[in-house]
Structure 1
Amino acid sequence: MMTDTLILTVFVYGPKESRVEVEMRPKIPPDVQGNLQKLEAWSQEVVFTGGMDVKHSNRWDYEICNKPARETIYNVASWIHLPEPRIVLYIHQICEAGISPCNFILEAQHRRITQEMGLPPQPPKSPAQTCRS
């Protein structure tokens, strides 16, 4: 029996091993319950529209190099097919999302997550010599 609630957990990572963790439990509409295709579409909308409400006004530095964060990278893990549907959103504040050593480390973490989820791997990008500040 599937629950009527989606468990949505958001982790925002910052410097010096700091992080923010937010858990939301939106109710799944009755017409969506039990229909995986509708649940997938509904949960995507919840993530995108709900994400607009998660804001902060502090300066964030990147978790790896402690330089000021200029970009944000999102990784999503989804288990909506389970009796207790769950989505985990990992948000990383990053100094530079292009080809950089810092982004290379973050992409390696993302590859591990996708491997754990059983998704096909993406090829790694070559790191640049330095991060720009």
Structure 2
Amino acid sequence: MEQRRVEITLNPIIPANLATTLEKKNKWIMEFTRKIGQDMKHNRNWRCEFCNKHARETVWMKASWMHLDPPRMVCYVHHVCDSGTGLCADKIRSVDAEMRAHSNLPPAPLLHVAPPEGYVYPMSATCAVCNDEANKSRKNLKQCARCGLTRYCSVECQHSDWKRHKQCCKAVKKVEWHWKK
């Protein structure tokens, strides 16, 4: 199945007090990837890989090697319009099942976090801080020079986000964008 996604190789720095067991490492890495979700921005007109509507959700599929020193993981991040219901949700669940089968992992439900009532997730092609969806803002996004992943509309937004972004930024080792032709 051809996919449109970003593959991110991470070497996260796990706090020493949480690196004592594989269970603690895995729990920490789940929370870490949840926190860096807003870093998965792109300045192209990012669309759902299945229906071509504006992408507003990211679905993470991970392969990790927490037993290595340093720990390593590869995240396959898919941008979709809706991962909870409908045809696109069915298709992303199919991709997840295929990846699990290739990784010899047992089937498991794909985690979907529904937005609060009345909230609409911001488009994937927006600033990681202000999420300005105006065309002008989205056309002028600049990526973080260090990680090559997170996008900002201005130097001010980037500076204001550094405290939050630096943990992700330092963990990113490689970013590969895969686009359908």
TM-score (norm 2): 0.45
Match of 2:28 among 42, 45, 50: 42
Distance 2:80 2:100 in 1: 19
Aligned CA distance change for structure 1 residues 116 and 34 (closer, same or farther; 3 Å): farther
Counterpart-to-counterpart distance in 2, 1:35 and 1:45: 16
Larger RCO of the pair (alpha carbons < 8 Å, separation 6+): 2
Residue pairs, 1:39-78, within 5 angstroms: 39-56=25-42, 58-78=44-64
Instruction: Number of aligned residue pairs: give it.
Output: 108
Offset of 1:111 from its aligned partner? 0.3
**Residue 92 (1) aligns with residue 74 (2):** no
2:95 to 94, 109, 114: 109
Which residue does the alignment assign to 2:144?
Answer: none
Q: Distance in 1 between matches of 2:12 and 2:84?
A: 34
Structure 1: which 5+ residue stretches go unaligned? 1-15, 124-133
Hey, what's the Cα distance between the residues in 2 that align with 1:50 and 1:118? 26
Post-superposition Cα deviations, 1:82-102, rounded to whole Å, max 9, x if no partner, equal 555332222222233344333
For residues 19 and 120 of structure 1, the distance between their equivalents in structure 2, rounded to whole angstroms, comes to 23
Q: CA RMSD in A?
A: 3.1
More helix by proportion, 1 or 2? 2
Aligned equivalent of 2:104, options 111, 118, 122? 118
Q: CA deviation at 1:36?
A: 1.4
* Cα distance between partner residues in 1 of 2:32 and 2:80: 24
1:30 to 2:16 alignment: yes
Percentage of identical aligned residues = 37
